Copies of this chain bind each other. A is one copy, B any other.
């Protein structure tokens, strides 16, 4: 890996951190450069535009999340996979490297009504994740089950965790998540 690629990684790690707090729009080139002791123009040259930087941050964030999927891939059953995914997700949201929670969840509420490359990058990632999750539910639900419905409710739980934990600062947010998740699993098996 050349030097350019290395600084690019350093930049994106810090950008991910900042975007988790301030969002992709609140992330500024100047502030990012200062935080890394780089010149604004030097940093800028790595991406060419702010929009390209935002796309890079989204992809970098997805890659960093994917690095943590070891326990999920180690699982053997659909239920185990989903349990592991949820555990990884909760830890991800609470990671100190993300002082403002998951930047992708934040981007969902920031880019939902904006057109452009960042939104497209975001949606593509969301759709891919959704497809994977559908597959996990297929492995544990009886044939004919409404798999997309189950995924809808699964994502609902993760969004509610973000809300309960970060907005309300409810200390029992994790317990609520697991209770809701097990109820969902039970319903999936029954349906």
- Name A's interface SS: helix
Tell me whether A160 and B152 are in contact (CB under 8 A). Answer: yes
In chain A, positions 149-186 with a C-beta closer than 8 Å to chain B are 149, 152-153, 155-157, 159-160, 162-164, 166-168, 172, 176, 179-180, 183
Flag if B100 contacts A113 (CB, 8 Å). yes
Does A101 touch B at the CB level, under 8 Å?
yes
In the complex, which of the residues A108, A114, A156, A157 has the most CB atoms of chain B within 10 Å of its own CB atom? A156
CA distance A124 to B88 in the complex (A): 30
Interface size on A, residues (CB 8 A): 45
The stretch that binds B, out of A2-10, A18-26, A45-53, A73-81, is A18-26
Cβ contact of A157, chosen from B109, B111, B127, B156, cutoff 8 A: B156
Q: How many copies does the complex hold?
A: 2
Is the pair B113, A149 in contact by a Cβ cutoff of 8 Å?
Answer: no
Does A95 belong to the interface (CB within 8 Å)?
A: no
Within 8 A of B (CB), among A107-133: 108-114, 122-123, 126-127, 130
B contact residues around A72 at 8 Å (CB): none
B180 touches A152 (CB 8 A): yes
* A155 proximity list for chain B (CB < 8 A): 160, 163-164
What distance in Å separates the Cβ of A26 from its nearest Cβ neighbour in chain B? 6
Q: Identify the A interface with B (CB < 8 A).
A: 20-23, 25-26, 99-101, 105-106, 108-114, 122-123, 126-127, 130, 146, 148-149, 152-153, 155-157, 159-160, 162-164, 166-168, 172, 176, 179-180, 183, 187
